[in-house]
Structure 1
Amino acid sequence: MLTELSIKNFAIIEELTISFEKGLTVLTGETGAGKSIIIDAISLLVGGRGSSEFVRYGEKRAELEGLFLLDEGHPVFDMCRELGIEASDGMIVMRRDINANGKSICRVNGKLVTIAALREVGRLLLDIHGQHDNQLLMEDDHHLELLDRYAGDEIEKALKAYQEVYARYMNVMKKVKQLSESEQEMAHRLDLIQFQLDEIESANLEPKEDELLEEERRQISNFEKIYEALQNAYNALRNEQAGLDWVGMASSELENVSGINDGLKKISESVANAYYTLEDSTFQIRNMLDELEYDPARLDFIESRLNEIKQLKRKYGATVEDIQAYSAKVEEEIDRIQNRDSHLQALKEELESVGQDVAIEAMNVSEIRKAWAKKLAKDIHRELKELYMEKSTFDTEFEIKTADAREVAPVVNGTPVHLTKQGVDTVRFLISTNTGEPLKSLSKVASGGELSRIMLAMKSIFSAQQDVTSIIFDEVDTGVSGRVAQAIAEKIHRVSIGSQVLCITHLPQVAAMADTHLLIMKQSKDGRTTTSVTPLSKQEKISEIGRMIAGVEVTDLTKRHAKELLQQAELVKTTG
């Protein structure tokens, strides 16, 4: 969860540090006090689009920093490891500085990252949902992703099986396209790869030839040094009165007394072994001296050969083995081109066979999605009923993508279909809010109050499938009142159970359900406007909720009403 937020020189906020708790935290205050500015700051902290306009007038930069405390198994830690960010102790610290020129500096746990990386981490930590910023829920293109997330493990396994066959299908499709190129392109390609093959084959490369030649070059280049060292070593060991003779003498003396005790016997054996080892080494040195020769012509050949191999490496691979592998690859390609018709026929047959397999897997995924779509409709209808939209009807529209006339594609139910990594489905959520009205896209729901309730109903369901630690609602309760407002308040509170929800609200019913109530105020200081945040006590909550009910003047009657709201909220929270 978001534990602490620090804001400096951001919009009208001079400097502010806010601590957050689990459960439902509401932010209230007069219009223009800076409630949405705080949400804007959080949004930028997790990768939102920045601008120099956010920097407080007269300052060089705005500074935003947030501390998140998380369970060790949270997926954000895997993301951090992928990005090379150290993350431990269940803690993530995100920081973003926005300069007056509009440029941003982003850090996660002290490591500099790009805005894209900041956004990748941020999306696993926070889900910000505003009155007009309906994000995934209101965009048709994202409905398939939401449905798959709702379906969970079952669709994930089916998709994995489909994607394995889909990868094979696309690989064969690529080969078919390559062989179906124009005759002229094929001829040019054949000339090129035949030249490359001839060049490689004419070099007659041997495995690890470059390594062996490098070693031989080092030996010839260091001939004098090697010869001198071997000769001196041999003389030191083998000449009269040299090392080997003295070791032999020592071995002979020790052998004479080796029978006296075990200690002498061990020493004698050790010296004898050393003598035989040294003697063997002198024979090897002598052989190497006899075989050693300096051959300038051989050195020239090696230099020339290594240069030839170097030129081949620049074109075809980093090692001799890579060059030989490339040679085998182009040899196969030449065979395919020269025997194009037979290869093309075989590939088309393979494509048709794999196409049947991929179509079966795609339809399996589609059927699973349709089954889960029915479950989703029931869940959403239940949520909407609790929000007094019992006459609403929710459904999921499925459409199979048909292939372009020029596209080679597998056939499903007699129709060529267009495959993507996610299958053949396009999905769109539809809703009708009144009896007798046709189903229409979510984005075309007219009433702001209806839109808020639909969004909250869907968020209540989808938040269970999300890994985000905190959900932020920015005035999603706009346009509702009365019993609907109370239902929304209870729904927001249920979403917050066991997690963290931050909510900007103008509804006293929502404020009454808060576990933590923060009052946002705007004030003037030294001719400048600043924003402050104050946690409210129980008595202060009564006054603030009273203000939300009545406006400027808070009467005793209003306070009694506020107390009743708080008592009712407490009852709802304790009874579940």
Structure 2
Amino acid sequence: MLQQIRITGLGVIDDAVLDLSPGLNVITGETGAGKTMVLTGLGLLLGERADAARVRSGARRTLVEGVALLPLGHPVLERADEAGAETEDGELIVARSVSAEGRSRAHLGGRTVPIGVLAEVGQELVAVHGQADQLRLRSPEQHRALLDSSDAAVLAALAAYEPCYERVRSLVAERDRLQAEATERARELELLSAGLTDIEAVDPHPGEDDELKAEDARLSHADALRDSAARAHALLVGGDSDWDAGESAWASVTAGLASAGDALREGADLDPEMETLAKRASELGYLATDLGADVASYLAGVEVDPARLEQVQLRRAELGRLSRRYADGGSVADVIAWSREAAATVSTLRDADERLPALDAEVEQARADLEAAGERLHTARVSAAQRLGRRATAEVRRLAMPKATISARITPTGQLARHGGDEVAIELAANPGAPARSVVKAASGGELSRVMLALEVATRMDADGVTAVPTFVFDEVDAGVGGKAATEVGRRLAELARTAQVVVVTHLAQVAAFADRHLVVEKSDDGTIAASGVHVVEGDQRLHELARLMAGDTSATAVEHARELLGSSRPLPEHASGPA
């Protein structure tokens, strides 16, 4: 349950503290005093969207802090522990701040957490019911959502149904796409296949373009290359050549180096260093001889072959054509890379065509699974509708509608959608024999408030009548109710408060008279700054507040009527430890 809520800098509220008790807590106050801001603050604490416009004029931020006391093992404490929050003996501190610039921060158990975590915790901690819920019931979709959320078996069936629905949607979308793209796919397959056939016919090899370029150069300039090689060979080792060595004393480099070595060795007896120089001359002679052999080998390989030159140039032209067509003028390696990518694409395109028959079978099986899941969901909803009808009828008959019957009608639509194939209508028959109609059409304003209270309680209780959340908050659920019906609403809220903490914002004395704790929101205005405070009223203060609610004044007569009302309200047992 909530022990305390502190609100600062929110709307007309400067700084207000709500000390809540177990059982029934009633909040009253003059119109405009700030009761709505109290609920707005609570909404922020439960993860609702922040609005910077709500920050009090002149304040840097709005801050809402709450202290909740929960039994060990409660889902809220487990979720808080997952978020890294610190708790002590089941006490959890929740905080939310909103700056004047719109920045929002959330804290749980002393740790900063995402706003979404507050929303998760809030769903397990507090059930808020306001006048807007009555408007939401005008939507048939909200009837379905209310029924589904009230029953664990329906939620489980829905959780199993939704993946089946998404699978059918996904498979059908894939099949439709493949069918729609069939023509384009065939065109692309034809182009790529033709390209692969073209490349395969030429059969290029990595690096072939560079090799042919070099060979083309050799064949095209064979005469010049032979002449250069022959002259070099003659210079190195001598031999037949038209080149004139001039008046040199030797006919070749090798002969000259040999003569130089002989000359150096002649002086070796006179100076050992000459022997070293002679050896170096010999080494150079060996190198020159090897170089000459290599030049001779090159010379022998250079041929004037017009037929081979033509072949090389034709092959280079073929490779160039492939390069321009498939590699934007790049190399043979780029052409080969394109062919690999094209082959992979062709395989994918052919797989797509081959997948269509298999996809049809998958769609058929997925639809069969969806229909089975939809049938299970329908069965679960029918059972849940019966349980909800019994519970809600029992509740509404305790609210001065003793002959009313609430039911949930399930109508198959014949078409499976995201939430199944059922249309849900929550209906009311106000009297025996009266036709059951949608609650928003069959109930008057006052009746609708009571019906909403009955539905709220019925959907939040388990089969044993234990509430699923520790705290209920009702915002003027008694709107449009008066007289005996108002008293019955107060009595039902008080009885609900036996098993859960209940917080009610009301303007009816008949409801406020049942409170275990009565809080009043009062606004003072010094002409410049408005501030609201919240305080507990007891004794004569409470009588005066009840009198104000009943008669609009606190005259002696009004106070006496308030005393009688308070005395006639059935006293509730003491709440020693509060609801679980």
Match of 2:66 in 1: 66
Which range moved further: 456-465 or 107-116?
Answer: 107-116
Equivalent residue runs for 1:48-59 within 5 Å = 48-59=48-59
Q: CA deviation at 1:380?
A: 1.9
1:418 to 402, 416, 419: 416
Partner SS, residue 25 of structure 2: strand
Superposed displacement of residue 561, structure 1: 5.0
Match of 2:386 among 374, 392, 395: 374
Aligned match of 2:213: none
**C-alpha spacing 1:384/1:492, structure 2 compared with 1 (3 Å):** same
Q: Please list the CA deviations of residues 426-449 of structure 1 after superposition, one character each: whole Å capped at 9, or x if unmatched.
A: 323233446776544334466321
1:173-217 residue CA offsets vs partner (Å, 9 max, x unmatched)? 45534542322343478699999x9xxxxxxxxxxxxxxxxxxxx
Amino acid at match of 1:336: D
Per mean C-alpha deviation after superposition, the further-off stretch among 352-361 and 4-13 is: 352-361
Determine the structure 1 residue equivalent to 2:368: 356
Matches within 5 A, 1:96-115: 96-115=96-115
Q: TM-score, normalised by structure 2?
A: 0.64
1:447 pairs with 2:448: no
Instruction: Determine the structure 2 residue equivalent to 1:509.
Output: 510
The count of corresponding residues between Structure 1 and Structure 2 is: 427
- Alignment partner, residue 459 of structure 2: 462
Deviations 1:81-107 (A, max 9, x none): 66x443543343332223333443333
What secondary structure, in the 3-state scheme, does the structure 2 residue paired with 1:376 have?
helix
The equivalences for 1:383-532 within 5 A come to 383-402=395-414, 417-420=415-418, 422-433=419-430, 439-444=436-441, 447-464=444-461, 467-525=468-526, 527-532=528-533
Gaps of 5+ in 1: 198-328, 403-416
Match of 1:228 in 2: none
Shift of 1:533: 1.7
Question: Could you say what secondary structure the match of 1:424 adopts?
Answer: strand
The aligned runs of 1:539-558 (5 Å cut-off) are 539-555=540-556, 558=559
Partner amino acid, structure 1, of 2:376: N
CA 423–80 in structure 1, closer or farther in 2 if over 3 Å, else same: farther
Partner of 1:32: 32
Q: Give the counterpart letter for 1:484 in structure 2.
A: A
TM-score normalised by structure 1 residue count: 0.64
| Equivalent-residue separation in structure 1 for 2:129 and 2:95 (angstroms) | 21
Give the direction of change, closer, same or farther, for the CA distance of 1:94–1:332 in structure 2 (3 Å limit): farther
Letter in 2 for 1:181: A
Does the Cα contact within 8 Å between 1:401 and 1:419 map onto a contact in 2? no
Residues 224-263 of structure 1: matches in 2 within 5 Å? none
* 160 and 480 in structure 1: CA distance in 2 versus 1, 3 angstrom threshold: closer
Distance in 1 between residues matched to 2:77 and 2:411, nearest whole Å = 37
Letter in 1 for 2:59: E
Taking the aligned partners of 1:192 and 1:155, their CA distance within structure 2 comes to: 54
2:143 matched to which residue of 1? 143
Q: 1:504 to 1:159 in 2, by over 3 A?
A: closer
Deviation at 1:359, TM superposition (A): 1.2
Compute the displacement of 1:461 (Å): 0.5
Does the aligned pair in 1 maintain the 2:399–2:450 contact within 8 Å?
Answer: yes
1:383-434: CA deviations, max 9, x gaps? 22222224544333434445xxxxxxxxxxxxxx3342x3222323233446
Letter in 2 for 1:55: V
SS in 2 for 1:388: coil
* 1:67-106 mapped onto 2 (5 Å cutoff): 67-77=67-77, 79-80=79-80, 84-89=83-88, 90-106=90-106
- Cα distance in 1 between the residues matched to 2:451 and 2:47: 27
* Aligned partners of 2:396 and 2:450 also within 8 Å: yes
* Residue matched to 1:184: 183
Letter in 1 for 2:492: K
8 A contact 1:194–1:334 mirrored in 2? no
**Residue 537 in structure 1 maps to residue 544 in structure 2:** no
Q: Does the CA-based 8 Å contact 1:129-1:135 persist in structure 2?
A: no
Residues of 1 paired with 2:357 and 2:23: CA distance?
64
Cα offset for 1:167? Answer: 5.8
3-state SS, counterpart of residue 39 of structure 2: helix
Q: Secondary structure at the match of 1:418?
A: strand
Which residue of structure 1 aligns with residue 351 of structure 2?
336
CA separation of 1:573 and 1:175: change in aligned 2, threshold 3 A: same
Deviation of 1:108 (Å)? 3.1
Closer/same/farther in 2, CA of residues 335 and 26 from structure 1, 3 Å limit: same
RMSD: 3.8
Q: Which has the larger radius of gyration?
A: 2
Q: Residue deviations 1:124-154, cap 9 Å, x none?
A: 32222223454765543232232223332x3
Q: 1:56 to 1:387 in 2, by over 3 A?
A: same
Give % identity.
31
User: For residue 101 of structure 1, what is the amino acid of its counterpart?
Assistant: E
Which stretch of structure 1 is more off in the superposition, 1-10 or 29-38? 29-38
> In structure 2, what is the Cα distance between the partners aligned to 1:544 and 1:361?
56
- Once the 2 structures are TM-superposed, how far is the Cα of residue 39 of structure 1 from its aligned partner? 1.5
Q: Deviations over 1:442-500 (max 9, x none)?
A: 34466321121111111120121574332111111122222211110111112222221
Alpha-carbon distance in structure 1 between the residues aligned to 2:186 and 2:501: 65
User: Hey, what's the Cα distance between the residues in 1 that align with 2:38 and 2:191?
Assistant: 62
- Gaps of at least 5 residues in structure 2 are 197-343, 576-580
The separation in 2 between residues aligned to 1:464 and 1:447, in whole angstroms, is 25
Higher deviation after alignment, 162-171 or 381-390: 162-171
Name which of structure 1's ranges 91-100 and 9-18 shifts more when overlaid on structure 2: 91-100
